[in-house]
Amino acid sequence: KRRHPKKGQWWVSTKYWHRRGNRSWVFASGDKELIRVDHTAIVRHTKVRENANPYLDIDYFAQRTFNHGMKRLTGRFKLVWKKQDGRCHHCGLPMELGEDREIFVKVPKSKGGVEEVDNLAYVHSYCQRLFIESRSKE
């Protein structure tokens, strides 16, 4: 009643609450609709081992990063991540999900390549720039 003090309850409910598909009482305004909380994926956090040392347990933290990527990515990006074992295609170092990375197309479409998982690779942004610079010098 605060926003429309002179309008009735029926008017307010028909303005903001709608029927979408088989769902009643959907809060929406025109085409915009609130995000459905039940569609939010629940991602569990994996605790770090108590005696893990980031400077000594390199394999443990590389595996942990890979598993984190497998949880966060979806679709073909997840397939590319799994195929590469979470490592950069150019330098072979493990990739963090928070760092800048790019999808590298091995054979461009202009040269007959297709955009499938076998033709895609994750690379660090820095490695991609170095690769492009070295290719342009040739």
Domain borders along the chain are 9-39, 58-137
Alpha-carbon dihedral sign for residues 128, 132, 134, 138: positive
Tens of pLDDT along 109-131? 888 888 888 889 989 989 888 88
pLDDT tier for residue 103 given thresholds of 50, 70 and 90 = confident
Tens of pLDDT along 26-48? 888 777 878 888 888 787 888 99
pLDDT tier for residue 133 given thresholds of 50, 70 and 90 = confident
Predicted TM-score (pTM) of this structure: 0.60
Q: How many CB atoms lie within 10 A of CB 103?
A: 14
Cβ atoms of 99 and 91 closer than 8 Å = no
